[in-house]
């Protein structure tokens, strides 16, 4: 146990990311399960910068070797695993819904087929706006989830930042009364406008930098919001706060993802506190609900500089937990201008 504690302390000192013996144990358990760096990050559920540092320290202590692009336990590593009784990860996720708790069926099925074709022509993710989008199944699973919770039918829905083409999926479902999107990237707004015209979707799509306060007419005008904020406490406060500012009243809902890839649990706790302080209740937390398609700019992201082996990610590794929040009495949004860099902290890896 001493060695886990020692590595955790060293890793925290080198990365400024909170680390526990349990963090080291989880990384070792992931290495038992897979030699692939990205899968180790995925399975361990620890922030990428911390996983990379822990692996380097395990290597320094002779417990792990890097052979080509493979991460393997040494004989000493295997002995430690036996001594501490560390076990491999075993998944029991539902294979029917992929653990999301909803399936795309019935009236949503036809809209989803259309969406699959439409999204093939979407503009690629670019680094400038820290973009990354989820799989089309994932986008539609969010529609299914929100409908399941009663947040779409006859409602005014707003999407703040729309890498995932949520607005198109929502409008194709035919459920909301109105769909608005605010998005900084003109390419995306133009694409959504074109699709909206072609399919008669009536999406209200506008170019807007969310660091600026919201256009006046969207404040207090919506029943439900969707957003996908950058992964710092400040950014979540700002972007979710914007979402909350668009809501009409109490008992309205918001949807967004928060990842473990760039967040320690200590940071998560601060994030949850910010949400509670805004007058929100966290009604749903769905682990690894969101799965991001690997983006082309991985070599430019901070995480790539940190990896102990240089193998491009092949399978999906960047996932996030889906949050659903609801406003109660006394809720308060955030619509001040955002100043300074709110995109980066010690735990971020994709910026
Ligand atoms: Fe299921």
Q: 290: CA distance to ligand 1 center in Å?
A: 15
Q: Is 164 contained in some domain?
A: yes
Domain CATH code at residue 28: 1.10.10.10
What is the pLDDT at residue 279? Answer: 97
Question: Which range marks the domain in which residue 282 is found?
Answer: 107-327
Q: 104: CA distance to ligand 1 center in Å?
A: 12
Most confident of 86-90, 128-132, 339-343: 86-90
Say yes or no: 125 and 66 in one domain: no
Q: 99: CA distance to ligand 1 center in Å?
A: 5
Q: 288: CA distance to ligand 1 center in Å?
A: 13
Say yes or no: 139 and 43 in one domain: no
Q: 103: CA distance to ligand 1 center in Å?
A: 8
Q: Is 239 contained in some domain?
A: yes
Q: 198: CA distance to ligand 1 center in Å?
A: 35
Q: Is 51 contained in some domain?
A: yes
Is 80 exceeded by the pLDDT of residue 344? no
Q: 318: CA distance to ligand 1 center in Å?
A: 21
Q: What HEC string does 84-116 produce?
A: HCCCCCCCCCCCCCCCCCCCCCCHHHHHHHHHH
Q: 255: CA distance to ligand 1 center in Å?
A: 20
Say yes or no: 134 and 274 in one domain: yes
pLDDT digits (tens, 9 = 90+) for 111-130: 999 999 999 998 887 777 66
Say yes or no: 50 and 195 in one domain: no
Q: Give the Cα separation of 107 and 126 in Å (integer).
A: 33
Among 19, 49, 84, the domain-final residue is 84
Say yes or no: 163 and 40 in one domain: no
What is the pLDDT at residue 110? Answer: 95
What is the pLDDT at residue 239? Answer: 92
Say yes or no: 75 and 116 in one domain: no
Q: Long-range CB contacts (< 8 A, 24+ apart) of 344-348?
A: 344/232, 345/232, 345/233, 345/267, 346/15, 346/16, 346/17, 346/49, 347/17, 347/47, 347/49, 347/50, 347/231, 347/262, 347/263, 347/264, 347/267, 348/49, 348/230, 348/231, 348/232, 348/262, 348/302
Say yes or no: 64 and 134 in one domain: no
Q: Is 95 contained in some domain?
A: no
What is the pLDDT at residue 303? Answer: 72
Model confidence at 104, pLDDT cuts 50, 70, 90, reads: very high
Q: 134: CA distance to ligand 1 center in Å?
A: 19
**Number of structural domains found in the chain:** 2
How much of the chain exceeds pLDDT 70, in percent? 97
Is 90 exceeded by the pLDDT of residue 285? yes
Is 90 exceeded by the pLDDT of residue 305? no
Q: 93: CA distance to ligand 1 center in Å?
A: 8
By the 10 Å C-beta count (0-12 exposed, 13-18 middle, 19+ buried), 306 is classed as middle
Q: 96: CA distance to ligand 1 center in Å?
A: 5
Q: Is 275 contained in some domain?
A: yes
Say yes or no: 266 and 306 in one domain: yes
Is 80 exceeded by the pLDDT of residue 57? yes
CB distance 21 to 8 below 8 Å: yes
Model confidence at 317, pLDDT cuts 50, 70, 90, reads: confident
pLDDT digits (tens, 9 = 90+) for 25-46: 999 999 999 999 999 999 999 9
SS3 283: strand
Is 80 exceeded by the pLDDT of residue 92? yes
Q: Give the Cα separation of 194 and 125 in Å (integer).
A: 18
Model confidence at 297, pLDDT cuts 50, 70, 90, reads: low
Say yes or no: 154 and 70 in one domain: no
Is 90 exceeded by the pLDDT of residue 146? yes
Say yes or no: 80 and 178 in one domain: no
Say yes or no: 261 and 155 in one domain: yes
pLDDT digits (tens, 9 = 90+) for 171-216: 999 999 999 999 999 999 999 999 999 999 999 999 999 889 999 9
pLDDT digits (tens, 9 = 90+) for 228-245: 888 889 889 989 999 999
Is 90 exceeded by the pLDDT of residue 315? no
């Amino acid at each position: 146990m001493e060695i886990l504690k020692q590595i955790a302390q060293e890793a925290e000192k080198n990365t400024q990311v909170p680390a526990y013996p349990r963090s080291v144990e989880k990384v070792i358990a992931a290495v038992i399960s897979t030699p692939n760096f990205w899968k180790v990050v995925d399975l361990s559920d620890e922030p990428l910068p911390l996983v990379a540092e822990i692996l380097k320290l395990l290597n320094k202590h002779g417990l792990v070797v890097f052979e080509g692009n493979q991460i393997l336990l040494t004989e000493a590593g295997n002995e430690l695993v036996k001594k501490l009784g560390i076990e491999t990860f075993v998944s029991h996720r539902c294979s029917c819904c992929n653990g999301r708790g909803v399936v795309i069926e019935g009236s949503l099925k036809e809209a989803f087929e259309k969406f699959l074709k439409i999204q093939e022509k979407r503009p690629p993710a670019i680094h400038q706006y820290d973009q990354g989008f989820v799989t089309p199944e994932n986008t539609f699973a969010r529609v299914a989830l929100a409908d399941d919770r009663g947040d779409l039918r006859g409602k005014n829905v707003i999407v703040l930042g729309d890498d995932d083409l949520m607005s198109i999926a929502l409008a194709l479902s035919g459920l909301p009364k109105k769909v608005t999107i605010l998005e900084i990237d003109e390419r995306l707004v133009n694409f959504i406008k074109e699709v909206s015209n072609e399919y008669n979707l009536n999406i209200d799509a506008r170019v807007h930098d969310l660091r600026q306060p919201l256009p006046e007419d969207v404040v207090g005008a919506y029943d439900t919001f969707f957003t996908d904020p950058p992964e710092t406490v400040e950014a979540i406060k700002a972007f979710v706060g914007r979402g909350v500012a668009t809501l009409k009243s109490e008992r309205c809902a918001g949807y967004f993802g928060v990842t473990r890839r760039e967040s320690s649990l200590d940071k998560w706790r601060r994030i949850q506190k910010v949400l509670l302080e805004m007058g929100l209740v966290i009604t749903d937390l769905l682990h690894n609900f969101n799965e991001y398609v690997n983006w082309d700019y991985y070599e430019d992201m901070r995480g790539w500089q940190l990896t102990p082996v240089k193998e491009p990610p092949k399978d999906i590794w960047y996932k996030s937990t889906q949050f659903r929040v609801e406003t109660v009495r006394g809720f308060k949004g955030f619509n001040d201008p955002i100043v300074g860099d709110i995109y980066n902290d010690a735990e971020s890896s994709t910026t």
